[in-house]
């Protein structure tokens, strides 16, 4: 754990990486606490009726040991890939304890993936087993022929054609298990990430990835691990944000994790859960915060949290002010990506919050903005956000793709693919994905602040800004807007929104075109797919004969 300090300088001075030769994620997030404090709460499971069930570290260890024995009985060995196709829940957590304790490699899969996405990941990874539910099992039946190495499917909802019953498989097994002695660099988890081009790539991480996450997680939650902390996220545990920003680090630090499966997520349901489950800490992606912000009279909940972290998209002033008013905290923004996560963070406890910035380099990590040749650029100069190796949070490489792994680096710098600049005090400002930046009349414009400005207007529910090709300006700013309830599209509203941005940001940044949509294209994790909107804008030109 980070030693609490009053300044970032003091915190950095007292920090040293302690990555042992041998380390195992499953042992660290469960067994160590089961040995020290077996009755300590590890999980709080909230059912559809709102009833809570507490799960101790000892109960989690026993369940994970039975699962490890059951998988071994079915031929799973060290190094084999075992997929977890489940939403938040007890069995999901147990799987992410059992798999690394076996020395196998966890393959988290999002429950809402369609057959094509599942088939590719299972086949490419060579997964030998899947732990799932009835819904997942139904999808797997349609693609099993495309994943020839898949030998075993366990469903928590019982047996069916070609699928074994999870509970029956575990019932026959012992709750004693000797974890495999793994090295810190041994593979532990394989998470697929979609880039801007090509098929999804599998980012392979070693057991040390958990240790690499801890400083950034602790910073983003004002030194997580305080007495009474209890954490939750709506982010699925299939993604690195849910799995390694919340579940694994919290369990490692002895912080109970709240698990809740929403039939349908809403801002009001999230606020109800925070209040009723007495959640003190949360990772709330911007999309979730925006949904919560639309809840009328949210102050009535009287919520007073201890920490909220957010990452994935830059937050605007409106959301930050809402967080202070409704959640009672300064939201700590942080930054990372699947290949190298939690490397930048704000921290209110250290006075490290600056509007428009995503924070400073997290303790233990070296983050810079570099140029085309890999040289560190001066403060204020835009370039590629990069992280220096070696770093324990950094991936081992892309699964079965050495060429893509090599392309990810520029000398000793891992290039994130995001653009940014360093401001006074070491604060990093996110400009946009390399292909999200809009170039208009010689100006380089990040879409984030345009979108933040638009959603501050009462008529706007969601917004996305992209560059539309233009013969005179290279690109113009085009905004796609989803209107809030009670507002109708009109030319007058378009003018009002354009003026709203023009008067609050800058004349060169306002959207010269605005189009109203019923929905924006989103990734499974709730990020706007700007690439799809750029294609739409380009097609408009082609259809108009301007292409």
The Cα–Cα gap between 134 and 114 comes to: 14
Report the distance separating Cα 368 and Cα 426, nearest Å: 9
Q: Tokens for 12?
A: 């950095």
pLDDT tens across 434-443, in order?
778 787 876 7
Q: Classify each residue of 147-166 as buried b or exposed e, where b means 16 or more C-beta atoms within 10 Å of its C-beta.
A: beebebbbbbeebeeebbeb
More confident call, 297 vs 505: 297
Residue 524: per-residue pLDDT: 64
The two three-digit tokens of residue 395, written as one number: 């991936």
Arithmetic mean of pLDDT, 51-70: 98
Closest to 381 measured CA to CA, from 444, 320, 439, 329: 444
Report how far residue 52's alpha carbon sits from residue 260's, in angstroms, rounded to the nearest whole number.
10
Q: Give CA separation, 257 vs 44, 46, 54, 61, 212, in Å.
A: 6, 11, 10, 15, 20
Q: Average pLDDT for residues 117-128, to the nearest whole number?
A: 94
- The C-alpha angle 53, 55, 56, rounded to 5 degrees, equals 145
Q: Give the range among 231-240, 270-279, 330-339, 515-524 with minimum mean pLDDT.
A: 515-524
pLDDT digits (tens, 9 = 90+) for 409-450: 999 999 999 999 999 999 999 887 777 878 787 676 778 878
Residue 130 to residue 108: CA distance in whole angstroms:
10
Q: What is the pTM of this model?
A: 0.85
pLDDT confidence tier of residue 112, bands split at 50, 70 and 90? confident
Beta strands at 201-206 and 187-193: parallel, antiparallel or unpaired: antiparallel
Task: Specify the pLDDT at position 2.
Answer: 87
Residue 547 has pLDDT above 50, yes or no: no
Could you tell me where in the chain the CATH 3.40.50.12780 domains are found?
20-207
Closest CA to 4 of 294, 139, 507, 14: 14
Q: Are 241 and 233 in contact (CB under 8 A)?
A: yes
Q: CA-to-CA distance for 329 and 308, rounded, in angstroms?
A: 7
- pLDDT given at position 442: 65
Rounding to the nearest 10 degrees, give the CA dihedral for residues 524, 529, 531, 535: 110
Write out the residue limits of the CATH 3.30.300.30 domain(s) in the chain.
Answer: 435-544
From the CB of residue 334, how many other CB atoms can be counted at a distance below 10 Å?
A: 27
Cβ atoms 472, 439 nearer than 8 A: no
The candidate with the shortest Cα–Cα distance to 282, out of 229, 243, 227, 325, is 229
Half-sphere exposure of 132 (CA within 13 A, CB side): 27
512 compared with 2, residue with greater pLDDT: 512
Helix, strand or coil for residue 13?
A: helix
Q: Which two tokens stand for residue 253?
A: 């630090």
Q: Say how far apart CA 388 and CA 439 lie, in whole Å.
A: 29
CA 368, 371, 375, 380 torsion-angle sign: negative
pLDDT at 198 (0 to 100): 57
The pLDDT of residue 396 is 98
Q: Which band of pLDDT confidence, cut at 50, 70 and 90, is reported for residue 527? A: confident
Residue 545, number of CB atoms within 10 A of its CB: 6
Cβ atoms 202, 106 nearer than 8 A:
no
Helix (H) or strand (E) holding 360: strand 360-361
The answer to whether 430 and 420 are in contact (CB under 8 A) is yes
- Quick one: which of 450, 430, 431, 443 has its CA closest to 508? 443
- pLDDT tens, residue by residue, 483-510: 999 999 999 999 999 999 988 777 778 9
Please tell me the distance from the alpha carbon of residue 157 to that of residue 91, in angstroms, as a whole number. 11
**Paired residues of 481 in beta bridges:** 463, 516
Residue 58 pLDDT greater than 70, yes or no: yes
Q: What is the DSSP letter of 478?
A: E
* CB atoms inside a 10 Å sphere around CB 327: 23
Q: Helices 447-455 and 491-504 sit at what angle, rounded to 10 degrees? A: 120
Query: Is 20-207 a CATH 3.40.50.12280 domain?
Result: no
Report the C-alpha dihedral over residues 50, 53, 57, 62, rounded to 10 degrees: -120
What's the DSSP call for residue 408? T
Query: Which helix (H) or strand (E) segment is 477 a member of?
Result: strand 474-483
- Cβ atoms of 144 and 161 closer than 8 Å: no
| 435-544 CATH pick, 3.40.50.410, 3.30.300.30, 1.10.645.10, 3.90.420.10 | 3.30.300.30
* CB-facing half-sphere around the CA of 502: CA atoms within 13 A: 12
DSSP summary character for residue 412: T
Asked if residue 281 has pLDDT above 70, the reply is yes
Q: Which of 47, 114, 52, 60 is nearest to 85 (CA)?
A: 114
Q: Is 109 helix (H, G, I), strand (E, B) or coil?
A: coil
pLDDT at 330 over 50: yes
How many helices and strands (H and E) does the chain possess? Answer: 18, 27
Average pLDDT over residues 163-186: 98
3-22: b (≥16 Cβ within 10 Å) or e: eebeebeebbeeeeeeeeee
DSSP string, 483-503: EPTT----HHHHHHHHHHHHH
More confident position, 282 or 199: 282
């Amino acid at each position: 754990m980070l030693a609490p300090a009053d300044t970032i300088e003091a915190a950095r001075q007292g920090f040293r990486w302690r990555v042992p030769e041998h380390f195992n994620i499953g042992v660290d997030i469960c067994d160590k606490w089961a040995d020290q404090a077996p009755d300590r709460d590890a999980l709080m499971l909230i059912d559809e009726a709102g009833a809570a069930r507490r799960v101790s570290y000892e109960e989690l260890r026993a369940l994970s040991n039975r699962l490890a024995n059951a998988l071994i009985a079915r031929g799973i060995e060290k190094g084999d890939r075992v997929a977890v196709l489940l939403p938040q829940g007890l069995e999901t957590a147990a799987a992410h304890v059992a798999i690394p304790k076996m020395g196998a490699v966890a393959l988290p899969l999002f429950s809402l993936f369609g057959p094509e996405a599942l088939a590719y990941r299972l086949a490419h990874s060579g997964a030998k087993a899947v732990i799932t539910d009835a819904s997942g099992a139904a999808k797997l039946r349609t693609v099993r022929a495309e994943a020839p190495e898949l030998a075993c499917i366990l469903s928590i909802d019982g047996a069916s054609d070609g699928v074994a019953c999870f509970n029956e498989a575990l019932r026959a097994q012992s709750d004693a298990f000797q974890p495999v002695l793994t090295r810190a660099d041994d593979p532990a988890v394989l998470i697929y990430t979609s880039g801007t081009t090509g098929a999804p790539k599998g980012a392979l991480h070693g057991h040390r990835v958990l240790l690499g996450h801890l400083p950034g997680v602790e910073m983003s939650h004002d030194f997580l691990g305080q007495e009474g902390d209890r954490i939750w996220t709506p982010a699925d545990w299939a993604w690195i944000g849910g799995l390694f920003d919340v579940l694994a680090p919290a369990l490692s630090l002895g912080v109970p994790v709240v698990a809740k499966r929403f039939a349908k997520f809403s801002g009001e349901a999230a606020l109800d859960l925070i209040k009723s489950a007495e959640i003190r800490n949360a990772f709330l992606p911007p999309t979730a915060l925006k949904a919560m912000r639309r809840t009328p009279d949210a102050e009535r909940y009287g919520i007073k949290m201890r920490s909220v972290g957010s990452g994935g998209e830059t937050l605007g002033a409106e959301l930050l002010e809402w967080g202070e008013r409704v959640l009672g905290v300064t939201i700590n923004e942080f930054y990372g990506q699947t290949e190298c996560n939690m490397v930048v963070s704000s921290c209110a406890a250290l006075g490290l919050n600056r509007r428009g910035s995503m924070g400073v380099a997290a303790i233990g990590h070296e983050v810079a903005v570099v140029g085309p040749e890999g040289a560190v650029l001066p403060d204020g100069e835009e370039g590629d956000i990069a992280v220096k190796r070696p770093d324990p949070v950094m991936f081992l490489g892309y699964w079965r793709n050495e060429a893509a792994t090599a392309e990810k680096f520029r000398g000793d710098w891992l290039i994130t693919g995001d653009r940014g600049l360093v401001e006074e005090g070491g604060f990093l400002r996110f400009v946009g994905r390399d292909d999200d930046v809009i170039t208009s009349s010689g100006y380089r414009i990040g879409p984030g602040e345009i979108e933040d400005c638009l959603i501050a207007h009462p008529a706007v529910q969601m917004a996305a800004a992209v560059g539309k090709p233009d013969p005179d300006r290279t690109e113009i700013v085009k905004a796609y807007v989803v209107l809030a309830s009670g507002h109708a599209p009109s030319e007058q509203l378009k003018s009002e929104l354009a003026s709203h941005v023009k008067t609050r940001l800058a004349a060169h940044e306002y959207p010269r075109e605005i189009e109203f949509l019923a929905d924006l294209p989103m990734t499974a994790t709730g990020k706007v797919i700007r690439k799809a909107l750029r294609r739409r804008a380009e097609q408009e030109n082609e259809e108009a004969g301007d292409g």
